[in-house]
């Protein structure tokens, strides 16, 4: 029996001993299976389903960064709609509150900022001339608002 046949038979029969022997014959390297732990023995003793094995092997909730399907997410986030009854405003200004508070008579603050400077520019696409603030004019190729996203 060839080493590959021995490995194949070991896999089909679920016999790791045959698989390791076949690997050793094929490569010349000795491979030993890891020792079984208490958790592995518990899994072997009772017959477990695939779901139980996955549950036992998953990480804790703190390290689980998986997301939920969209249907579950939206159903949890949707708020219940409730009817609201709106009454009439009951406030009546009788003039008693804040009667002594008045707005001080102060002169307006003068405007010290100089007026903005504009520059005439020509669009290099449609050759339309327009005036824009000087701080927005950069470079030699200006595009007007009409030509920005179209050409």
Residue 98 lies in a domain: no
Does residue 151 carry a pLDDT above 60?
no
Ramachandran angles phi, psi of 24, nearest 5° = -65, -40
Task: State the total domains in the chain.
Answer: 2
pLDDT the model gives residue 150: 65
Angle ∠(105,109,112) on CA atoms, nearest 5: 170
Residue 124 lies in a domain: yes
pLDDT the model gives residue 118: 94
Does residue 31 carry a pLDDT above 70?
yes
Average pLDDT, the chain: 79
| % of residues, the chain, pLDDT over 70 | 72
Section 118-133 average pLDDT: 93
Residue 83 lies in a domain: no
Residue 121: give the domain boundaries: 116-151
**pTM (global) more than 0.75:** no
More confident residue, 38 or 23: 23
Tokens describing residue 51: 């779901």
Using alpha carbons, list the distances in angstroms from residue 150 to 8, 131, 145.
65, 21, 10
Residue 89 lies in a domain: no
More confident residue, 139 or 59: 139
Cα gap 63→45, rounded to integer Å: 29
Residue 19 lies in a domain: yes
Residue 85 lies in a domain: no
Residue 43 lies in a domain: yes
Residue 133 lies in a domain: yes
pLDDT the model gives residue 55: 61
């Amino acid at each position: 029996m060839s080493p590959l046949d021995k490995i194949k038979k070991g896999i089909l029969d679920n016999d790791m001993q045959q698989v390791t022997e076949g690997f050793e014959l094929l490569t010349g390297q000795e491979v030993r299976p890891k020792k079984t732990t208490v958790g592995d023995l518990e899994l072997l003793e009772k017959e477990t389903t695939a779901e139980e094995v996955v549950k036992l092997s998953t990480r804790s909730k703190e390290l689980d960064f998986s997301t939920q399907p969209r249907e579950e997410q939206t159903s949890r986030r949707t708020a219940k709609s409730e009817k609201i009854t709106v009454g009439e405003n009951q406030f009546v200004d009788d003039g008693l509150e804040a009667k002594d508070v008045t707005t001080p008579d102060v002169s307006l603050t003068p405007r010290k900022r100089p007026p903005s400077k504009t520059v005439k520019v020509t669009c290099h696409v449609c050759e339309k001339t327009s005036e824009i603030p000087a701080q927005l004019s950069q470079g030699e190729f200006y595009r007007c608002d009409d030509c920005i996203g179209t050409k």
